[in-house]
Structure formats: C-alpha cells, structure tokens
Structure 1
Amino acid sequence: MPTPELEARRISLLLVEDNQDDAALLERFLKRNGFAPLVTRVETAEEMSAAIAAHPPDVVIADYNLPRFSGPEALDLVRQSGFDLPFVMMSGAISEETAVESMRRGAQDYVTKQNLARLVPVLERELREAAARRSRVAAERALELAEMRFHRLVDAMPLGLLIGQSSGRITYANDAAVRLLGYGEVELMTGTISLMNILPGLQKSFIALNSDEMKEPFEFVCLTASGEQIETLVGLTFLDREGVNRTEENREIAVFIADLRHQKKSEEVLRRTEKLAVAGRLAASIAHEINNPLAAITNCLYLVQQSQMDEMGRSYLEMAQKELDRVAQITVQTLRFHRQSSRPVHTEPGELVETVVALFESRIRRQSVTISKRFRSTQPLFAYEGEVRQVIVNLLGNAIDAMPSGGRLVIRTAEANDQVTGTKGLILTISDTGSGMDQETIDHLFEPFFSTKGVTGTGLGLWVSKEIVDRHHGRIQVRSRKAREGQGGGTTFRIFLPLGGVPASASGAEAIDSLDRSDVRTGIVA
C-alpha cells in the first residue's frame, strides 16, 4: 500500500480561527485523511484581506464565532475579493437555520467541529467543483479573446465578409463589406437586405456548393446601396458541419467579396496602352518609309526648277516645294516623338513649343484660331524632351479642340521661383478662349479614362501629362470658366517645371521605364 505521503494532496488553506488548539487539531485531521495542507491562520478582517491579497488560497474554512470577527463577515470579504474561493463554515455548535442562512449567503457548506469526518468529502467536492469553474471561466475567457481577435482580424482585412444563411439572411458584415456596399451595419443585419439583393443569382452558387470546401473564387456583379453595379471576386464556403441537409435554408455560409474595380481599370489601362504603343510604332514606321519617296520627289522638283518655265509654272513649283517641306517636317516630328531619349537632356523651351505648334498648323488655320506666343525663358530645361513635348501636345490639342469655331490661343514661357519650394524653374502657360469647364469636370480632369470628347477621346492625355509633370517634380494647375449666354469661357493650364528637371542619375531602370512610357505618348499623338 502506498505511503500516505505519496497520496497526500497539497492544498492551500486559509483558516479563520482564534483557537490555536482547534487549528492544530484540524490540520492533523486533514493530514491523516490524505491532504498536505499549507495552513494560514487569521483572526481579524485585516489579516484575512492581507492573506488573500498575498496568496489566494484553494479553500477558506471559517469559524462562525470569533471575538473580533465572524464567519459571516469572513464570507462577505471572500465575495468582495473577486476570487472564486470555496468557503466552508465551521462551528462548535450551529443551528440548522444558521447553516441554511450561511449557504444562502454564498457558503458552499457547513461542518461542525464535532463531525470533522464530513469535512473530507466536502473539501474534495468543493475543490473539484472550483477547478471545474476555473476551467469553465478560462474557456469562456479564451472564447471571448478568440471572438475579439476574430472581429479585429476580419474588420482589418481589405476583403468584404458577409456571414449569413443560405436563405439570404445576413447575420454579420465586416467593415470592408459595409464600406464597399454602402449599407449601414445595422441595416445589413436587420433582415431588410439579403445576400440575394447584393449578389443577384447567388442562390445558384449555393446549390452548386455541395461540399464543405471553399468554392473556387469567381467573378460576380455586386449591387451597392446606390444601385451601382461593381465587378467583384466572390468566394463561398459553408460554416456548418456535415450532417445538415444541404437543401435546408438554415445553412450558415460565408461570402468573401473583393472589389475588382481598380484591377479592371488597371487592365483597361494596360490594354489601351498596348494598343496606343502599337499605333505609335506603326506611325513611326510609316513616317520612316515616307522619307524615301519624299527625298525622290524633292530631287525631282529641284531638277524641274533648274529648267526654263513661265512664271505661273514656277509659282506652282514653289507651292509644291512648300507643301513638301511641311510633309517632311511632319514625318521628322513623328519620328522624334517615337524615338524618345533614355536620359534627360538640356532643351530650349521656346524651340520645343515651336516644334509642337508646327504639328497643329493646319488645324489652327482650318479652325480660324489665332495664336499668340511669348517666350521669356532663356535658360535651357533639363528634362526628358519627348515627355515634355508630349505634355505640350496634349494641352495644345485640347485647347484647339475647345475652339472648333475659332478663338485665341496664348502660349507663354517665363522663368520664376516656385512659391512653395523656392526652386527656380520654367512656367509654361497655355490659354484658350474655348467653351471652358465646370467645377465637376475640373475635379475629374486628371483621372484616367475621364473624357468630355465622347468616343473620340481616350481620357488618357491629361492623366499622362500629370504623371509626366509629377515625375519631373513639377506641378500642373488649371483654371477654367464655363461659357454662358452673353459671357465667354476659356481655360488656362499653368505648368511649373524645375530647370534642374529630373535627377541626373535617372538611368538604368528609370531610363527603361521612360522608354516604355514613350510608347504610350507616341500612341496618343497618333
């Protein structure tokens, strides 16, 4: 038979007792009955409070009557301490009514000093139940912590999450879903809005979901609170376990929703960029091929001019030569737009503007647009020449488009210091007397694919222009007045570019990036 020491159960005992002999008797009794008690004896409320605060015991046994303290007062202290401590009332003589009242107030049991044998099963039971309560409380706290972490996690993730039933009722929506859909959280979970309202036709996907594994994500059109249709990526999974009839409406389901609008826009930008790049390369190829017959025609005209002819014939030859020079200039400009330099260079702003104006010469004449130019900048600009030229092309093209029935185009360059940074730079101003724009149009002017020209516009020109200016550490500003009856309109674009331009170290990957972007700009010119 094992020795008592090996069988002894260690317990920490807080004993509220004024009689040392009774305390020693109780300790010996517990040792004889399988316990190894570590006894702390107290006689007053102060001693008891200090003992509990220093080391909460496994169990409290309190004598009912003490000279300066009592069992009921000790029970109140235990309840006020906040600890879940088994409490056993003990007395030499206690009536049944007193025992019942003690248990009503929170004592787990009562034992008389004359019947200590009953104390052993009481302690075993209370220690066992206290351990069970602590385990239950720990499990509840762990569950609360897990739920809190779950809510923090799903509210922080960018994916929208809706949890509901296969009938369509929504029981949970995270912050991302609320922001994406435009509904209020309460509105989503009161039953007025169902999964079918947000994702019409989703019921078919529920039926197809015949396992507990997550359904492969698929693209789906989602309806927001405003009625807007947005493209999303949706993932589905059932949250309940096997054994539930899959045709019932009480199946719990999780719906993950990812907003694809930005991705779709990026894909569209890429598709249009590729098309524009191809168009740009084709234009450059055509311009290159035209150079050969142009050279032959120029030589022929020169030979004809050397021969004898009347005044009228010579005037026709001069007219042909002039137009041929214009064609040659256009082909040279087209090639220059495609063959962008991979490094920034020093360029004279006035000359750069003149090369662009020459491209629009025929349109300017055809639309009866008068042009005023004033170039006051003397220092060269250090920049990607092709990129800056493309900005001027976009702004001049828009200005001429805004004056289909004629108007005035003003182009100015000047040197000035930036009001924000104090950097010395070039200010390019392009003004027109066209139809002008309202504030809503101006607010969206530099967004990709925003266009006021209908099917004739790509909506990329000003967006690309702003990207180029930003890359040169500059700024682009716009002021406009919408034309109204009896009052003319007009628009002014003001661009500031530091004379130092982009960093001189812009090479390698940045140079390659510039070459890639040049395809886009060439396409826009075409």
Structure 2
Amino acid sequence: MAIAPPVLRVLLVEDSELDAELVLDQLRDDGLDLEWRRVEDEPAFVGSLATFAPDIVISDLSMPEFSGYRALEIARDTAPRVPFLFVSGTIGEDAAVEALRRGATDYVLKDNLTRLASAVRRALAEIEEKRARDAAEAELLRVQRYESLALLASGLSHDLRNVLQPIAMGVAMLRDDPNEEIRKVGRLIEESTQRGLEIVASMLSFARGSRAAVHRVSIASLIDGLVMLLRGSLARDVELVVDAPDRALEVEGNATELQQCLLNLCLNGAQAMPGGGTLRVASRTLALDAGFFEPGETVAPGDYLRIAITDSGVGMSQEVQERLFKPFFTTKEKGTGLGLLSCRRILANHGGVIRIDSAPGKGSTFSIYLPMAAAEATVGGAAATALGRGERVLVVIERESKLVMLQDIIESSGYVVSPADNGTVAMQSIERDGLPDVVLMDGHMTLMTGVMTASHLLEQDYRGPLILIAAPTERATIEPDLPPLPRIRFIDRPVDPDQLLRVLAEEVRAR
C-alpha cells in the first residue's frame, strides 16, 4: 500500500467541531502528519478545493446547510482525482451504496472510526495507482503518436528524395555551361537541392532514431545560406554585418543542423536588440589547447573553426548566463527555453563547444568552435575526378529518369555508357557488346535484384569493378549475399555526382 504524503492535506466537510476533532485525532494517532481545513457550506467548500488543494476530502453526509452528496458532486466535477470519503453516523446500507454509485471512494461510520486511517491510506494508494496507470496510458499514446509521425516522416522523405535526386544529378550538367548566368543559377539550384536532401536525411534520422549523415560542409556556403534565411527575418533597424570567410574552409558535419544552430543564435541576438543595433557574424581558424576545455567537455586539442555571433543588445548578467542551457529557461516572453539547449547538443554531436561573453548593457557574443576537417585525400597525387578516356560503363538503373541523368553525367566526363533499365537488359548488353570496363548498378532493384544481377555478372566472367548505389541502411542487407567479385564499391544514395565521378575514376585507374 502506498505511503501517505509527508504532510496530508485534509479538507473536512463537517458542521460539528467536535466530530472534526475526533476524525483528526484518529488520523494523527495512526501516525499521519496533517494540514487541515474545515468547511460547512458550499461557497467555502468550492473555494477550498481551489486554494487549499487537498489530498483527500472527508465529508459528513447530512448537515443543516450543506449536503454531502452535493459536496461529492462538486468534487467529482472540479477535482476528480481527489479521493472522497464519507464519515457519517446516519449512513445506512442503501445510502452507502448510493454514495459509492455517485463516486465516493469509501465510507466510514462515526461509531467505528478505528477503520478511518486504513480507509484513508487505501484511498490514497488507489488514486496513486490510478495516476500511474493514467501516466502509463498517456506515455503509450505519446509513443504511438511518435511512431505514426516517424512512419509519416519516413514515407515523405522517400518521396521527396525521389523528387530531389534527379535535380541534384542534373545540376552537375550546368556547372560547365559557357554562360556565366546559367552557371550561377545552377549553383543556386545545387545549394537549394542539397539543403532539401539534407532535410530529407534529417527526417529519416528522426524516423529511424539515428543521427543524420555527416559530410564536408563549406563554411562559405553555410554562411551564405544563413544570410539568405536572415534577410526575411531581421527587423529593419538591425544591421547584419558578415565577415566573409575563407571559401576553402570546411568542417565535417551536417549542414542543416549547423545552420539551425547558427540561425537560432542569430535570431536570439536580434531579439536582444529591441531598439535596433548591429548583428555581426565572423569566422576564423585557431588552435585550441587542452586548457581551453571545461569540465564535462571532451578534451580534444587541435585546429578549430570559430564562428562568433555578436549583438549590440542589452547583454546578460552572470546569473542569467549560468542558467542559459537549463531546459525551459528563457528570457523571452514566448520562448520555449530549448533553443540553446538544442544548439549545444548539435555542437556536441559535431565535437564542438560553445562559449558566451556578455555583460549587462554591453551586448553578447556567442562563439561556437568546430574541429576543422582533415585535408581531402587524393589518389596517385592527382585529382580523383579526372576525366575518363572512353572506358565503357554499364549503368543498370530501373528508374528511367535517373538512368538518363546518370548517363548524361558520366558521358560528359569522357566515358561511354551502356544503359540498362534492369538486370536482364544488362545481360543482353554484355552478350551483344562484350564485357564493360566498369559496372554501376542500383543495389535495390525489383525486376532482378542487385545481388542476382551481380551473380549473373560473375557467371559472364566479369571481373571488373562493381559500383553499387545504396543508402547506408541498405548495405547491411545487400553485402552478405553478394558474389565474390574482386572489386565492389558502394556509393551513397542519393547520388552525389562528384562522389560518383571520383569513385569511377579511382576504379578505372585501379583496373
């Protein structure tokens, strides 16, 4: 049985002071620590339910100015989770049954008050059990809602990826256009499409409960995207000043998450300047030693990128700064108190940290520190995206739009493409034209699976490189069943044209 609260708040509905004292003495004799209030009319009872917030109501059944049944009716309407006990000297069997039917928890006769304390403890235990059950049911509903949302996110992300992937591949064809305006539009489309694909990846990571994929992030592109988002969000009296970063700077991470963090910090800075001011975004590289890191942070000395967001606003006291990263703490009227906490979580996932420099009336600077990306490796001392020299590539993709797009990209880089929209057509192509130099194939096909097609390649005595397109989650189901071809490579889905051409060049050179 549940233990009563350290102090039991008892609301007595009783017109007799003597009877009330007898009830209270009985509870105290059983070891209960009480805080109590006695009422004997409806207005006082209604007011006490709201202001006293009792743990239990103990009521007489018949009183000159107030009915116990009426008290029960009010309690069930306004405080349904508060146990309600009748203690009466006049209650008969029929009245007791009626009381329980109307929602009373229990009843005790005044000539048998020795039973009162155990009835109170049992009532408290029952309501505690009911609250626990209600909480469990609410948690189950919450989990079910999240599962439904995850299924929706997974389905939407799949459809969006199918829409965005051909656009991302097609953009590569605009990079070498002789018209500068077309190249400029192509870069804009490429950045927007990449952001869309990253949003899709974030949706999938939410749906699967995993982290979004990381890759090299250009700081210049990250800041450019941030400026575009801020243009429509900042008040006219806020001047945005951006110190252009070195366009060669890169970090390893997820661009969407990092941009979310920067956007949150910038909007916080803008809101800290109600009368207008200057918001500055500046970045530079520096080396951090072990002494820079605070307790609880991973000590990882090395080269870091610092992005500082400075506002000329109201600033913060030391007391406010110490509470900034506590859940639900906010200095804004409509804030949730979760933005900075989310920002710190994102940085921690990227191996980064955040620092604050502020004082009342002197503005604030939020500085984020991210580890620098290692230098990109090259193959054989040459760029990995070297052009082909007429090598023949068999491309096996079921979706026609993707097949045509990949064919155009690969052929524009100096290769000869033999397209096939399923494994059967691929085998027919080999019988007609001979073995290719490289095979590029979707790992997930329906008419003839990637594994089956790879097995047929081996039967045709193909011993060249096989490049399979597959999302990281698909590889675990594909790899165990693949035949023992000498060279098998995976590239990510959705296809990044640069990664495709780089891997293709590496495999051609390695033959």
**TM bucket by the smaller chain?**
0.3 to 0.5
Q: Which has the larger radius of gyration?
A: 1
